[in-house]
Amino acid sequence: MITIDEEGNQLLKLDIDQNSWEELLNTYTVNLSKPFPYEDDIYFSSGLTGIENIYKLDLTNRQVEQISNARFGAFDPAVYEDTLYFSNYDVNGYEIWKTPLKEKLGRPVTFPKKVNRPSKAEYDKAYVRQLLDSSISIKPKYNSFFWNKLIHSYGWFPLVFPPELGIELNTLNLERSFKSTIGVNYNLNEKIVQTNIRGSYAKFFTILNAGVQIQSRNIDQPGQVYDIDSLLEQDFKETIFGAGIELPLRLTQGIYHANLNIKLDFNHHQIEENKPLAVPYSFDVLNVSATFSRLRQAARRQVKPPFGQYINAHYKKGLDAASPAQFFLWGQLFFPGFYKTHSLYFRGSYENNEVIGRYRYLSLFRSSRGYVYYPFRESYLISVNYELPIAYPDFYIRGFLGVGRIRFNGFFDYAKGQANDWMQLQRSYGGEFIFDLRLFRAFNMDVKLQFIKVQDHPGSQRPFVFGIAVETFE
């Protein structure tokens, strides 16, 4: 059996007759799992090389050999009639493989031995004694016990969630229970800059959030003529104070990963205006959002999950009759393509952004590709996509940039928006070359070279659009 304690992972043998334990293998840093005894050998799984593979321990000489050399992982060994069976993971998902034991299969390997390391409790006591030693000079600004327990800066992180782009500086305390963030975002719809400061406390099962956001907005609203040429501009500064609670739930974890995240926020809006907005200068808003995902595990060469669903919903409502409401819904459905690495997926979104006077909430809606954003009161989008890999250049500039894969996506977008009595249809189709990039060995991003044919409104839209877009950043 496998045991785990502060000294590491052990493979143990229990003698039932003698009621005694015998240690067969011990390692401090490497996992051991699923032991299967057969004659004078024990087969097991381990991630010694960073990838799970099958290993064999010879009980006669305690020599360990690596049996499998799977690219993505091998698990769950079992032996029947001198044949080794195990689960192998590749581009097709999980498959059962077998190999005869009569062949010389393995190569000798060495597992790292147990080391004598202090337990966490012993380390904490020694650290506190060191801090309390009067002979040690401590600079309170950086090295005090309280400061290190409170906050620790761990770096910046780009944010790419169209229609918003931004960058954040994150800090985290040593207990990893409190996170603070300072960020700057740019909204592509309204072309405004947002500054925000947030804090999250996750000592308990739920996450407590609080923050403030400042933005200078320029709202365009359709005038009485009800066409896009009669937009009325409105400049004002908006400050939003917020606090709320978040409940992250992991529903299932196996072939399908299912997650549910629920957030409830209470926001207070303050407006400093240059022109009358016909909305109160301050009002309170209740914001409820939920995100559900159920995605089948994808092999590395698959461009998207072979099956899955993703749904994100937001509802925002002022607590008095003079403030507006907003409802936004966005989702994706994934299906396998004609080949095992291809993907057919659908995207859809809907937004109802109520206007009070000339004020509305910041829009979350993305128009059809190739079209300029318009401030619709109600809008929806349906998109069909077929994506496939076309090349694996594996090109890297050391420490800076890597290009792992190039994909192609063909799409058709259909959207419709309405403001007052004016309605616009937005249809486009085209293709995208998508480059899977890795920056500074830390961030994964998709950069797209787009060719878009716009079908509607040739007078106000270019019929052909070439562009560069950044879709995801992880």
In a 3-state reduction of DSSP, which class is residue 423?
strand
3-class DSSP state for residue 173? coil
Question: 83, 77, 85, 80: which is closest to 34 by C-alpha?
Answer: 77
**Which amino acid is it at 9?**
N
Is there a contact between 343 and 337 (Cβ–Cβ < 8 Å)? yes
CB atoms within 10 A of CB 341: 20
Q: Could you say which DSSP state residue 359 is in? A: B
| Mean pLDDT across 455-469 | 62
Cβ burial 255-264 (10 Å sphere, 16+ → b, else e): ebbbbebebe
Segment among 59-63, 82-86, 145-149 with least mean pLDDT = 145-149
Of all residues in the chain, what percent carry a pLDDT higher than 70? 78
The C-alpha R_g of the chain, in whole angstroms, comes to 29
The answer, as to whether pTM is greater than 0.85, is no
Average pLDDT score over residue span 90-105:
77
Q: CB pairs under 8 A, 24+ apart, for 36-42?
A: 36/77, 36/78, 36/79, 38/79, 42/11
- Give me the residues paired with residue 13 across strands: 22
What's the average model confidence in pLDDT over 290-297? 94
Helix (H) or strand (E) holding 217: strand 207-222
Reply yes or no on whether the pLDDT at 145 is more than 60: no
Measured CA distances, 190 to 35, 64, 297, 361, 397 (Å): 59, 62, 37, 11, 36
Q: Does residue 453 surpass a pLDDT of 70?
A: yes
**Residues near 122 by beta carbon (within 8 Å), at least 6 away in sequence:** none
Residues 243-254: what's their mean pLDDT? 90
Average pLDDT, the chain: 80
Residue-level pLDDT at 228: 42
What pLDDT sits at residue 36?
Answer: 92
